Amino acid sequence: MDNLNLSKHISGQFNAELEDVRNRVMAMGGLVEEQLTNALSVLHSGDDELARKVVARDRKVNTLEVSIDEECTRIIAKRQPAASDLRLVLAISKTVSDLERIGDSAERIARLATEHHSKRQRGMLVSMEAMGRHTLKMLHDVLDAFARMDVEAAMRIHKEDAKVDNEYEAVVRQLMTFMMEDPRSIPNVLDVLWAARALERVGDRCQNICEYIIYYVKGKDVRHLDMNQVEDLLK
């Protein structure tokens, strides 16, 4: 915890509790990253067994969210943290919520692979590969930034979401073309469109975590601000 520049407390136990809950967030983050990696692999390969593994492990992600959130509540009630300590606990609580939702997106994407898709639909799914790699990198990088509470990295990652949004719009345009060329493909296209939307939301969740990092380190709530406003606020 020293690398976060957290102040030492009279109670060594309090330090241990903060360190433990932070480590549990990182463990949850690692699991969610693995879930998303596997879900994206399923999009490409159609591996039913791997898809079922992702679906089954989503329960573990949910359990971790509940247990970490309960620990955050217990720390607030018992320790009554103030200033940066309180911001850390709140940032952790919000982060695990977004991680759980990223896990949900991975699980839902994997479920598509358990259905019997046509060769054409498989091609549509593969068309999302670039966006998938981008969102996975965002997740990996934001977890690293969270571990170090690195504001500069958080701001850099925050900007990446605009690129993911552009990739999502390109996928949507391509899918619209499929539907216009062959109206019979509409049900399949809607399934793929839903998966693309789930990936786009992963980028949004990573952006949220960036904002929690900034909130903890700088004590500034930058939600709903564009990056120019954030940069001006942090000057």
> What is the pLDDT, as a whole number, of residue 225?
74
Tokens of 16: 């241990």
Amino acid identity, position 102 = I
CB-based contact 214:151 (threshold 8 Å): yes
Residue stretches of the chain with pLDDT short of 50? 1-3, 5, 10
> What is the pLDDT, as a whole number, of residue 123?
66
Positive or negative torsion for Cα 162, 167, 168, 170:
positive
> What is the pLDDT, as a whole number, of residue 15?
83
> What is the pLDDT, as a whole number, of residue 49?
92
pTM of the model: 0.89
Tokens of 76: 């607030």
> What is the pLDDT, as a whole number, of residue 122?
65
